[in-house]
Amino acid sequence: MSTLTARFLGVRHHSPACARLVSRTIAALRPGHVLVEGPADLNDRLGELLLGHRLPIAVFGHYRDAERTATSWTPFCDYSPEWVALTEGRAAGAQVRFIDLPAWHPAFADRSNRYADAEARYERATARLCDRFGVDSADALWDRMFEAPEPGGQDDAALAERLALYFDVVRGDTVADASDRAREEYMASWVRAALAEPGSGDVLVVPGGFHRPALVALTAAAPPACGAADGTPPVPRPPADALAGSHLVPYSFHQLDAFTGYFVRAAAGAGPAGSPGLVVEPLAVLAGSAVVVPDLAAGPPTAGTAPAARPAPDPVAGALAEALGALADTAHRGLRRLDRAGLDRLDRAAAALDRTGLATAASRVRAVPAAVAGGGADAAAGPWTDAQLFLLAAADLYGSR
């Protein structure tokens, strides 16, 4: 009988308060396992993910067969609880693993962002809480309950208890759909496998908060059990006739905010020498259903510091960034919903690449709208992936010159 224990710390994706709590929990608990909601097919490449990239970054997953085409993103920034769990867990010597189904799995067929908020699906529960606390949105409710500093500092035990109660209320008696059930049963199998590993230390589980109540119940409902020969559950593999994969790609705060709807950006150490180490930058506001990015004018420099010099624009880096942005926007919209504005943006990106001498890169970008025009969205999936990978490699090579 296993004597190990599992602690389930449900989080809101991209919450600074949750990220800090995860960090302090790892430091205090020193777990043997840190299990994180994320694509299990990436476990063999965690070393690549944790190489010290400039955040934000994302894991882009794609899938295509004769019947289905799908893409999915798993984004990380420095205040993502999942990223903190990975980095702090590894630094503490824990066995760190992703435990969710791969992005190509049918459970993600209608989900373009693994770390999107669940509140939109459970509006009745959050509406009651908003009314109780006198706020007008789930984001304002979250800030009031969890992000706002407490007099005397945060009490970690109290914060963890409030988070658990909040997610219990949000989940309530909601019956999870087939996709969530498949994901939760798979994640629970990883928890049971970790608990069955003798002498490995306690287990810290960091899932999205909506999944926490189900994972607690599913783990308790069955005894600890090993999976494959190495003790872990088997990772699903795509069908032999499918094209599927996961790739580490650059990301941006604009993309992150457009996906999550939760507008927080904290940049550690971003200020000039001698200024405070934490700079909070308002990046966007929500106006109806549209995301508006304001023009921010620079204020007067802090006393005793000089304003930073603006670097001269680099046309090559700018052309590569714009082309990657155009391809990312195409994927976010979906190739089947690529409109005239999206096609024009791809054309402009290709023209900018041509002007900087990157003719091969330009031809890869132009191949995407050409494939859409010639054979539709299904025919364009391959050229899009080809252009994305080529441009990522080009940007990497140019940036490391």
Q: DSSP string of 253-288?
A: HHHHHHHH-----EEET-SPTTS-SEEE----EEET
pLDDT of residue 292: 38
Residue 146 · residue 163 · CB < 8 Å: yes
Most confident of 156-165, 256-265, 272-281: 156-165
Domain co-membership, 30 together with 169: yes
Which strand (E) or helix (H) includes residue 307?
A: none
Domain interval for residue 354 = 315-399
Residue range 54-64, pLDDT digits in tens: 888 988 888 88
Domain co-membership, 341 together with 218: no
Q: Which of 221, 250, 279 is the last residue of a domain?
A: 250
Does residue 376 lie within any of the structural domains?
Answer: yes
Q: Which amino acid is at 230?
A: D
Round to whole Å and give the CA distance between 275 and 273: 6
Q: Looking at 42-46, 132-136, 199-203, 237-241, which range is the least confident one?
A: 132-136
pLDDT of residue 290: 41
Token output for 309: 């010099």
Round to whole Å and give the CA distance between 7 and 89: 14
Does residue 144 lie within any of the structural domains?
Answer: yes
Pairing of strands 6-8, 203-206: parallel
Domain co-membership, 123 together with 16: yes
Give the total number of structural domains in the chain.
Answer: 2
pLDDT of residue 127: 78
pLDDT of residue 194 exceeding 50: yes
Does residue 288 lie within any of the structural domains?
Answer: no
pLDDT of residue 276: 34
pLDDT of residue 112: 59
Residue range 93-112, pLDDT digits in tens: 999 999 999 988 888 876 65
Domain co-membership, 228 together with 351: no
CA of 92: how far to CAs of 3, 88, 89, 123, 202, in Å? 21, 6, 5, 38, 13
Closest CA to 380 of 74, 112, 107, 71: 71
Domain co-membership, 243 together with 320: no
Does residue 378 lie within any of the structural domains?
Answer: yes
Q: Which of 194, 218, 250 is the last residue of a domain?
A: 250
User: At residue 321, what are phi and psi to the nearest 5 degrees?
Assistant: -65, -40
Round to whole Å and give the CA distance between 159 and 37: 20
Note if the bond before 238 is cis, omega within 30 degrees. Answer: no
Residue 34 · residue 94 · CB < 8 Å: yes
CA of 316: how far to CAs of 138, 214, 349, 357, 389, in Å? 41, 49, 11, 9, 17
Domain co-membership, 49 together with 158: yes
Residue 398 · residue 320 · CB < 8 Å: yes
pLDDT of residue 252: 77
Does residue 54 lie within any of the structural domains?
Answer: yes
pLDDT of residue 21 exceeding 90: yes
Does residue 186 lie within any of the structural domains?
Answer: yes
Q: How confident is residue 365, by pLDDT bands cut at 50, 70 and 90? A: very high
Does residue 282 lie within any of the structural domains?
Answer: no
The answer for residues whose C-beta is within 8 angstroms of residue 44's C-beta and 6 or more apart is none
Domain co-membership, 246 together with 324: no
Q: Which of 250, 282, 297 is the last residue of a domain?
A: 250
Does residue 275 lie within any of the structural domains?
Answer: no
